[in-house]
Amino acid sequence: MPPISSAPVRAAPSAKAIAKKKAIQKMQATLRWHERDRKQRKQRKTEQYEYKRYRLELVKQQHNKVRNIARNALRDVREDWKLGPLRPNRVSGLQEGMYGVVTERSLSLTALPKHLSQRINEDREKQGLPPQHLVVNDKIYLPYVVGDRVVVIAGREKGKIGAIQAVDKDALMFTVQGVNTQYLDSKLLAGGDPTDKTNRAPHEIQFGINDIRLVIPYRITTASGRYIYQDVVVDNVILERHTTGVDPFTGIDYGNDEFPAEHRFDPETNLPVFKRYIAGTKRAIPWPWEKDEEKLKEKEDAVVAQEKPGFLTRVRRLPNDLRERIAARRNAAARAEEKRLEREAEELSLVDSDIAESQQLSGTRTDRPDNILTYDDDTGRNKSDPTDETLRNFSPTLAYPPFPAGLPTELLQEVREKRREAAQDALDEDTPRVSRAERRKIRENERKKREMETMKTPLQLRWEVMRAKQAAEKKEVDREQLLLALGKHMQGNGIELTPKRSQAARNAEKQLDVE
C-alpha cells in the first residue's frame, strides 16, 4: 500500500465556484475586447477626422486658388465696365505692383495623412499597379529625389523637362527648376529684395507626384554597333530594400548574394536603404548621389591614368593622337583661308568705295545715256542746292532716275483718273445692273428656298423622286404624227377636211413612208 500523505486534502470546487470563475473570465475577456474595440474605433475616428479635414483643406485651397480669384476678377470687370472712365485704379496703393502675384494663402499646401498615403498604395495594388511611394515606420520614401530629371505630363507645362529642386514629402509635391514659374510675393521669400517696389519675384510652383515622370538616359545599340544614349520616360518606378550588391557599412561587393540584415541601414542616418528599378525589369536606376560618386571615381581614374601612362597605353593612343594633330592642322589651315578671303573682300569693298567717290567728285555717270536732251529751264541739283560743290554738275531729268522730288505728287491725280477710266471701260455695258434692294430680295428668296428644302417630310421627298422619274420616262410626242392621227380620226367620224388640211395630211403620210 502506498504511504498515506500528511498534506491536507483540497476540497474539489463546487459548481457554484466553477460558474463564478467562468463568469469572471468571461467578463475579463469582454473588457479586453471592448478596450481593443475602443482603441480601434478611436483610431478609425481619428483617421476619418484627418481625412475629412484633408478634403476640406483641398476644397478650401481650390476656392482660394481658382474659384475666388476668378469670381473676384469677373466682379471687377463688371464694375469697371459700369463705371467707365470713373473706374478705380486697382494696382495702386497697397496693391501696387501686385497684379497677378501668388499670395501666401494661395501657396499653402495641406499635408497628406500617413494612413491615407498607405491607403493610396493599397488601392493601387488592388488595381494591379505598383505603389507610388513607401511608408515604413511612419516615414514616407519617394522614388524621386532632389537632382532627378523629370518630365511634366499634365497641365500647361506638359512636355517640359527639368531637375527636381525641392521635395515636400508630407504633401507629395515636387518643385521642378525652371518649370511652372509664377510671380510670388517677394516678402514670402527668404532672399527677397526689401527695396523692390514691385514686390514680385519669379518662383516655381510645385507639382503633384501624379503630374511628373522620371527621365533617364537609356543606352541604345545602333545598326552599326555603336552605343548612343537617348532620354526615355519611366512610367512606373519600384522601390525595394537594398539587400544585395555593395554593403553600406563595409563597402564589400557581394554581387547577387545578400549581405547581413543588420547592415541594410544607412550608417549615418540609421534609416533603411532603398534601390529603385524600372517596373517589370531588374534594371536599377542610380540615385543622383551615386551618379556623382561614379563621375568622381571616373575622373580620379582618368587623372591617375594621365599621370602614369604606360608603354602600351601610349601605343594605343598613338593613332588617336595622330588623328587629333592632323585635324588641328586642317582646322588651322581652314581658319587662315577664311581670314585671307575676308581681307580680300575688305580690300575690294574699299576699292569700290574709292571708285564711287571719284566718280561723284568728277560728276560723271556711267549709267546715263548720251542722247538725253537738256534744257536751260530744267531745275537741276546745282540750282536747288548750290552750296553742294560735289553735286553741282548733276541734273535730274524725267528720262531716267532719280526723278525730281515733286514728280510723284504731280502725277498722282492723273494716274488715278487713268485707272478709273480703265476700270469703267472694262465694265460690260450689256450687263444688267441690279439694285441693292433686288439683290437683297434674291438672297432672301434663295434662303427661303433652302429652308423649304430642309423642312420637307420623307413623303414629300418620295413624291418628288417619283415625279422626276415619271418625267424622265415620259416620251415626247411628235407634232406631225399627232396631227396625222387626229386627221384620220376626223375622217373616220365623217368630218370632211379642208383642201389645205388634206394636202398637209398627204404630205405627212409621204414623209412617214419615206422614213
* 333 shares a domain with 206: no
For the residues 143-163, what does the mean pLDDT come to? 90
- The parent domain of residue 58 ranges over 20-86
- Rounded Cα–Cα distance for residues 416 and 457 (Å): 57
* 169 shares a domain with 285: yes
For the residues 134-150, what does the mean pLDDT come to? 85
CA-angle at 252, arms to 246 and 257, nearest 5°: 60
Q: Of 56-60, 241-245, 259-263, 426-430, give the lowest mean pLDDT range.
A: 426-430
Domain end residue (candidates: 86, 115, 141) = 86
- Rounded Cα–Cα distance for residues 510 and 505 (Å): 9
For the residues 223-232, what does the mean pLDDT come to? 81
- Cβ-based burial of 174 (10 A; exposed 0-12, middle 13-18, buried ≥19): buried
Q: Is pLDDT of 171 > 70?
A: yes
At residue 70, what is the residue type?
A
Q: Which pLDDT value is given to residue 370?
A: 47
Residue 322 lies in a domain: yes
Q: Is pLDDT of 306 > 60?
A: no
- Rounded Cα–Cα distance for residues 515 and 508 (Å): 11
For the residues 427-455, what does the mean pLDDT come to? 75
- Rounded Cα–Cα distance for residues 464 and 462 (Å): 5
* 124 shares a domain with 72: no
Q: Which pLDDT value is given to residue 37?
A: 92
- Rounded Cα–Cα distance for residues 354 and 38 (Å): 105
Q: Is pLDDT of 42 > 80?
A: yes
- Choice between 406 and 181, residue whose per-residue pLDDT is larger: 181
- Choice between 29 and 500, residue whose per-residue pLDDT is larger: 29
Q: Which pLDDT value is given to residue 361?
A: 54
* 29 shares a domain with 59: yes
Q: Which helix (H) or strand (E) is 256 found in, with range?
A: strand 253-258
Close Cβ partners of 120 (under 8 Å, ≥ 6 residues apart):
132
Question: What are the φ/ψ torsions at residue 202 (nearest 5 degrees)?
Answer: -70, 140
- Choice between 493 and 310, residue whose per-residue pLDDT is larger: 493
Q: Of 138-147, 233-242, 376-385, 389-398, give the lowest mean pLDDT range.
A: 376-385
* 269 shares a domain with 127: yes
Residue 400 lies in a domain: no
pTM above 0.75, yes or no: no
- Cβ-based burial of 431 (10 A; exposed 0-12, middle 13-18, buried ≥19): exposed
- Rounded Cα–Cα distance for residues 99 and 104 (Å): 14
Quick one: cell of 264?
541594410
Q: Which pLDDT value is given to residue 452?
A: 77
Q: Which pLDDT value is given to residue 195?
A: 56
Residue 401 lies in a domain: no
SS3 272: strand
HSE-up of 453 (CA within 13 Å, CB side)?
Answer: 6
Q: Which helix (H) or strand (E) is 510 found in, with range?
A: helix 499-514
**Structural domains in the chain (count):** 3
For the residues 397-412, what does the mean pLDDT come to? 68
Residue 451 lies in a domain: no
DSSP annotation of 484? H
pLDDT in tens, 92-139: 766 666 666 766 556 666 777 777 777 777 777 888 777 777 887 778
Omega prior to 402 cis, within 30 of 0: yes
SS3 105: helix
Residue 291 lies in a domain: yes
* 161 shares a domain with 110: yes
Residue 113 lies in a domain: yes
Of 284, 262, 260, which is closest to residue 274 (Cα–Cα)?
A: 284
Question: Counting every residue, how long is the chain?
Answer: 515
DSSP string, 54-71: HHHHHHHHHIIIIIHHHH
State the pLDDT confidence band at 43, using cuts at 50, 70 and 90. confident
pLDDT in tens, 320-351: 888 888 888 888 888 888 888 887 777 767 65
In Å, how far are 4, 176, 280, 359, 411 from 288, measured between CA atoms?
Answer: 84, 15, 22, 72, 77
Q: Which pLDDT value is given to residue 410?
A: 75
Close Cβ partners of 285 (under 8 Å, ≥ 6 residues apart):
214, 216, 234, 237, 276, 277, 278
Cβ neighbour number for residue 352 with a 10 Å cutoff = 10
* 82 shares a domain with 102: no
Evaluate whether 166 touches 176 at the Cβ level (below 8 Å): no
Q: Which pLDDT value is given to residue 308?
A: 54
For the residues 49-75, what does the mean pLDDT come to? 81
- Choice between 78 and 357, residue whose per-residue pLDDT is larger: 78
Residue 173 lies in a domain: yes
First to last CA, the chain: 159
Q: Which pLDDT value is given to residue 23?
A: 92
- Rounded Cα–Cα distance for residues 344 and 349 (Å): 9
* 130 shares a domain with 66: no
pLDDT in tens, 71-95: 888 898 899 899 888 888 877 766 6
Q: Of 12-16, 234-238, 398-402, give the lowest mean pLDDT range.
A: 398-402
SS3 322: helix
- Choice between 481 and 178, residue whose per-residue pLDDT is larger: 178
SS3 229: strand
HSE-up of 343 (CA within 13 Å, CB side)?
Answer: 6
Domain end residue (candidates: 47, 63, 86) = 86
Q: Which pLDDT value is given to residue 34?
A: 93
Quote the percentage of the chain above a pLDDT of 70.
72
For the residues 166-184, what does the mean pLDDT come to? 85
Domain end residue (candidates: 44, 62, 86) = 86
* 195 shares a domain with 80: no
DSSP count for the chain of H helices, then E strands: 12, 15
* 100 shares a domain with 81: no
HSE-up of 451 (CA within 13 Å, CB side)?
Answer: 6
Q: Is pLDDT of 403 > 80?
A: no
* 249 shares a domain with 181: yes
* 163 shares a domain with 293: yes
Residue 272 lies in a domain: yes
Quick one: cell of 461?
421627298
Beta-bridge partners for 285? 276
